[in-house]
Structure 1
């Protein structure tokens, strides 16, 4: 008998023989269990943070006594706590500590922001603007070197979008990036085909371009950093999020989560994919992996905080022009690509990738790699397959991060191996207009291929890759799960007049599994959370509409009434209608 089965049996025995009533009862609602049968029930009873009964109002009535907190749902829907499979909370919470970063939809917005920074940053100091993706600008291109020079002639400027970006003349000069340098580094430095001069666009920039810290920016104390992270986590709760995976967790971030846990402010179940430098000396990598595998948060994780494995970067960015594809990108004014043979950038060769997976699998660490292009995805799946001959991959809960462009071969391979996939549906909404312009509709057939993954039996989990800002829709990238659900069902793209391969859309049931039980599997917590079943932890969210029957266009506007973790409320809407629930 499994540990979970034994626990459920024990729970049932306690329920049947113990006279103590429930601590919390919810009744009169539509409680979507997301159990294997996808039952919808009226009522739920909770004791000591765990679910002890589900069923009709009449069936739950025996669990109520004068001390029981009873919530009358008044017909409202309850879902298991929502989970985001991919966030970067520590960095995101710090992003606007110094000043607010306005939304930017045009090149002129970018230049206007830089003009404001020029007025306050001392001459000669660097100005760095991060993660304003060119796919989300109406002009669909990088700002040019000349445009950056025009607004900041006395400051080195770096417009960074993931691994790639655009620099002005002072930034290039400080790094010694001139015509001769570009000729020696054609993979990294884009040039004007007529003159050979650098255009300012740099790919895999960390290899060739270094910045200096802006001394004028505010430096936060440890307490201030922790307060901002706690504020962000409270906002996650506001949108029904009770679980997250940090997909590139540094040592300092791990320590920060531990401090929040100790102070009682970690109100999401948090699992960590630790950062790993993949091309370091193998002896150093093994030492690093031994340290991670011996971490108490991996060996005996806390219910709120644990380590699941590591993450590396296999290729560049789909949003920035360096994802690794089986077919050439094609020459592009959008991405500044002039070589018709260019297929993107593979950061880790196949042999090293296999060695990394083997080292992780032998320590039971979940491995994942950032893979955007279909060639990168296929390389990772093939490496998993080779290791799987000796060490079973499925038990490690290893996965593919992003996997934005896939092939039928890769989908079938992931299904066969038991490899999960962590996807960001909001990117379809924000970026597909530009991707259609670059690649055409046909190459987007397996772009964020949700239905194909579900049909193949791959465990696919929904995430955001939240990088910067606090605010579910103003953030880079938006972490509002209901926006993600709406995109998963409609395949709608902003500034585009038709759905993107509607045949890849999810059903409503799949949509909810995508943000609950599937992500719990990626967290190695599916026996504890992700569905509402007897014996599981009482993590759930009360919402204002029926997501199984409402119109498609109503999904994205869902309002959270309250969010609960271990049967304790961690968010309550302040509207009068919400207060009436109690």
Structure 2
């Protein structure tokens, strides 16, 4: 017994107990540089996997104790291993369905150039049914239904901006959707009207659904095929899990079909979209959707809400604490929008948590952020022992007085730091309308972290690239690699590479409610990991980080991207 205890003591540095190092591993990866995201063992050299879970992790010598007769052993020659990357806010189905659609790719176009491209799409998709054009540049694009009729009038034409918060329709689209001067804007958005009261064809935020709901959905198997292709692309970028934001019945149908066909490789948590109506009917609907997803083995215990819109001119629907300025720097009467009244948000949040739901809220302006924090504070006060997950996404502008509240209320900040790149969106369409004092607080990542907040990484794809390394490069540098003339955007808010890797691993796992299963490389956890062609760390430059290539992606110990080398002899 004393001898056995002594042997165990030699490997006590590993969080696993002595009996963890037992023969029979399916796979052992040796000679690696492993960033585990486990504070008790931050770095390791080797890892063993059995039945889709981590059997052992430590030095080569220690992990080889897990080798069995049929173990596949591979040497990685010092290559870097990370936990599988996790996106805490993405729209995978919307993005998948958009990949084969007619897209303007956020290109800055004149009306004439836009017209030519739309007519080309019309010729490629002939007919008299809906023609949908995606990724139209929202900044600087001025359209109305009459301009669109001059491009295409014989069929309903529907243009959607890159951020999906703006859309434009021609007369045929408005006619088929039943939108006229008597149509009221919903509580979650706005219909633009001309001086004579007629709709101009411009829709903002939730009002876009008045038209888009009339566009026939893609057939189920076509959706499944598109999502399957998209998941493979995620794996190539190192993404092994994600929160699917704003899910609905069609989302669940698609994910369930993918699961039933044995093609759902990623770990997914669905955030069910809601307008925040605080009544039993809404929670019955959400509960039914949750059960439907869980029958397919898919976690769906989160509700996604929109507290406000977006900040860029000319949309300016993000809720602010003080008004937007005009181009000359003078205050206007526009403070943006709060799409759910504070008392309603408070009531809805409490009802949701009482029913076992977590909350994930879109909040971009400082006014919306404060409203959501106040609602979350009421939840924490009334249900102090309830461990439910509370998170907010985007967080473009936060009043400094609210930084510390994220840690105090245990609210996770899901940041899309690719947007912290200084460019036409983050500077030209915002700075003049916020003023210098507020602009210096845009995307305050480091400030939140210094106040103890938990930061999670996300993309909001298909609004922007889903590649985590693109966002890590910007979050670390706050520069524009393609247009250095923009300088930096609030460089004091930059994070280190290691902080950003935590945001895309263990912290993002917390948003999904999966931190005990994924997000770090620890014994007993799911064997989700990636191997990089070249290592990245706090000394890496942004260009090198953005160029990072994933060689191998494993989910539950199974290769979903790349190839394992031939086994080594041991």
TM normalised by structure 1 equals 0.83
Q: Does the aligned pair in 2 maintain the 1:460–1:514 contact within 8 Å?
A: yes
1:84, 1:241 within 8 Å by CA — same for their partners in 2?
A: yes
* Matched residue, 2:513: 524
Query: CA separation of 1:426/1:254 partners in 2, compared to 1, >3 Å: closer, same or farther?
Result: same
**Alignment check: 8 A CA contact 1:43 1:54 kept:** yes
> Would you say the 8 A contact 2:290–2:301 is kept in 1?
no
Q: Is residue 2:554 matched to residue 1:557?
A: no
Matched, 1:458 2:453: yes
Q: Once the 2 structures are TM-superposed, how far is the Cα of residue 15 of structure 1 from its aligned partner?
A: 2.3
Q: Deviations over 1:217-257 (max 9, x none)?
A: xx754333212211111111111111111111112212322
Question: Which deviates the most, 224-233 or 33-42?
Answer: 33-42
Measured after TM superposition, the shift of residue 267 of structure 1 is 1.1
- The farther-off stretch of 518-527 and 547-556 is 547-556
RMSD of aligned C-alpha atoms? Answer: 3.5
2:16–2:56 contact (8 Å) kept in structure 1 = no
Instruction: Judge conservation of contact 1:324–1:376 (CA < 8 Å) in 2.
Output: yes
Which position in structure 2 is the counterpart of 1:314? 307
Return the match for 2:478 from 484, 487, 491: 491
Most deviating of 407-416 and 382-391: 407-416
Unaligned regions of 5+ residues in structure 2, if any?
1-12
Residue from 481, 498, 501 that aligns with 2:468:
481
Aligned partner of residue 245 in structure 1, secondary structure: strand
- Cα separation, 1, equivalents of 2:231 and 2:293: 23
Q: Provide Cα deviations, 1:72-123, integer angstroms capped at 9, x if missing partner.
A: 11111110000011112222222244x5535241123533322223446678
Change (3 A) 1:307 1:331: same
Determine the C-alpha separation between the residues in 1 that align with 2:96 and 2:402. Answer: 35
Cα distance change, pair 120–527 in 1 and its aligned pair in 2 (3 A): closer
Q: Report the Cα offset of residue 363 of structure 1.
A: 1.6
Between the aligned partners of 1:255 and 1:343, the Cα distance in structure 2 is 38
- For 1:339 and 1:183, the matched residues in 2 are separated by 25
Q: Decide whether the 8 Å contact of 2:105 with 2:135 is kept in 1.
A: no
Structure 1 residues 394 and 165, CA gap change in structure 2 (3 angstroms)? farther
Residue 212 and residue 59 in structure 1: after superposition, are their counterparts in 2 closer, same or farther (change >3 A)? closer
Bigger mean CA deviation after superposition, 380-389 or 498-507: 380-389
Task: Report deviation, 1:485.
Answer: 0.6
1:80 aligns with 2:83: yes
How has the CA–CA distance of structure 1 residues 124 and 315 changed in structure 2, closer, same or farther, with 3 Å as cutoff?
A: same
Whole-angstrom distance in 2 between the partners of 1:107 and 1:207: 22
Q: How many angstroms does 1:421 deviate by? A: 1.7
The structure-2 alpha-carbon separation of the partners of 1:197 and 1:223, relative to structure 1 and needing over 3 Å to count, comes to closer
Report Cα offsets for 1:278-314 as digits up to 9, x if no partner. Answer: 23x713123224435656729xx94xx3123111212
Is residue 2:148 matched to residue 1:148? yes
Which position in structure 2 is the counterpart of 1:15? 20
Q: 1:113 aligns with which of 106, 111, 117?
A: 117
1:357 paired to 2:358: no
- Is 1:128 the counterpart of 2:132? The answer is yes
Native 8 Å contact 1:118 1:155 kept in 2 = no
Q: Which range is displaced more, 445-454 or 263-272?
A: 445-454
My pick for the range that moved more, 264-273 or 46-55, is 46-55
Report whether the alignment pairs 1:508 with 2:509.
no
Give structure 1 stretches of 5+ with no counterpart: 1-7, 468-475
Change in Cα spacing, 1:392 to 1:159, as seen in structure 2 (3 Å) is farther
Q: Distance in 2 between matches of 1:208 and 1:518?
A: 33
Q: Matched residues in 2 for 1:360 and 1:206: separation?
A: 25
Q: Which residue of 2 aligns with 1:265?
A: 263
Q: 1:328 to 1:158 in 2, by over 3 A?
A: farther
SS in 2 for 1:392: coil
Counterpart for residue 239 of structure 1: 237
Match of 2:340 in 1: 348
1:514 CA drift (Å): 0.8
Shift of 1:144: 5.3
Q: Label 1:535 to 1:264 Cα distance change in 2 as closer, same or farther (>3 A).
A: same
Give the match for residue 426 of structure 2: 432
Match of residue 288, structure 2, among 277, 286, 291: 291
- Rounded to whole Å, the distance in 2 between the matches of 1:580 and 1:427 is 41
8 Å contact kept, 1:394–1:417: no
1:192-215: CA deviations, max 9, x gaps?
Answer: 78x888655433462895358568
Contact kept? 1:293, 1:365, Cα under 8 Å: no
**For residues 12 and 78 of structure 1, what CA distance do their matches in structure 2 show?**
23
Name the residue aligned to 2:53.
Answer: 50
Matches within 5 A, 1:413-428: 413-428=405-420
Which residue is equivalent to 2:4?
none
Contact 2:104-2:136 within 8 A present in 1 as well: no
d(CA) in 2 for partners of 1:383 and 1:507? Answer: 31
Distance 1:562 1:446 in 2: 38
Matched, 1:164 2:166: yes
Aligned counterpart, 1:471? none
Cα 1:394–1:547 shift into 2, 3 Å: farther
In structure 2, the partner of 1:546 is 535
C-alpha offsets along residues 512-570 of structure 1, whole Å, 9 cap, x if unaligned? Answer: 00100000111111112111122222110000111114323200010000000111211
User: Does the 8 Å contact 1:236/1:242 carry over to 2?
Assistant: yes
Partner secondary structure for residue 248 of structure 1: strand
Q: 1:253 aligns with which of 248, 251, 254?
A: 251
TM-score, structure 2 normalization:
0.85
Query: In structure 2, do the counterparts of structure 1 residues 569 and 441 end up closer, same or farther at CA, with 3 Å as the change threshold?
Result: farther
Number of residue equivalences: 543
Secondary structure in 2 aligned to 1:395? Answer: coil
- C-alpha separation in 2, matches of 1:533 and 1:205: 43
Residue 450 (structure 2) pairs with residue 445 (structure 1): no
| SS of 2:17 mapped into structure 1 | helix
Contact 2:246/2:304, CA 8 A, preserved across alignment: yes
Contact 2:320 2:366 survives alignment (8 Å): yes
SS of residue in 2 equivalent to 1:134 = coil
